[in-house]
């Protein structure tokens, strides 16, 4: 059961929607910011990499893909 007023961020919903269709993603912007995530019916801040990893695992994708944790890097 999820928090009644919590909704995943739009970028994360879009990523999960396109995950079956695309093999690679480039995410840019505020990748160092904390993300709001729901854990055990409580909304908590979580880092970007953990947010993506948890979302991929929760969406039912294979463990191999989820184990390849994304790396947030700043390209200059």
Does residue 53 fall inside a structural domain? yes
pTM over 0.75: no
Confidence at residue 68, expressed as pLDDT on a 0 to 100 scale? 53
Total tally of structural domains belonging to the chain:
1
Question: pLDDT truncated to tens, each residue of the chain (76 aa)?
Answer: 555 688 888 989 998 999 889 878 888 888 888 999 888 888 999 998 888 888 888 888 765 554 455 555 544 4
Does residue 40 fall inside a structural domain? yes
Does residue 1 fall inside a structural domain? no
Does residue 2 fall inside a structural domain? no
Does residue 3 fall inside a structural domain? no
Does residue 48 fall inside a structural domain? yes
Three-state DSSP class for residue 8: coil
């Amino acid at each position: 059961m999820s928090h009644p007023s919590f909704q995943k961020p739009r970028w994360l919903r879009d990523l999960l929607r396109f995950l079956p269709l695309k093999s690679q993603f480039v995410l840019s912007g505020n990748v160092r910011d904390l993300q709001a995530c729901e854990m055990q019916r409580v909304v908590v801040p979580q880092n970007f990499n953990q947010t993506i990893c948890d979302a991929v695992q929760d969406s039912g994708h294979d463990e191999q893909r989820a184990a390849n944790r994304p790396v947030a890097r700043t390209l200059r």
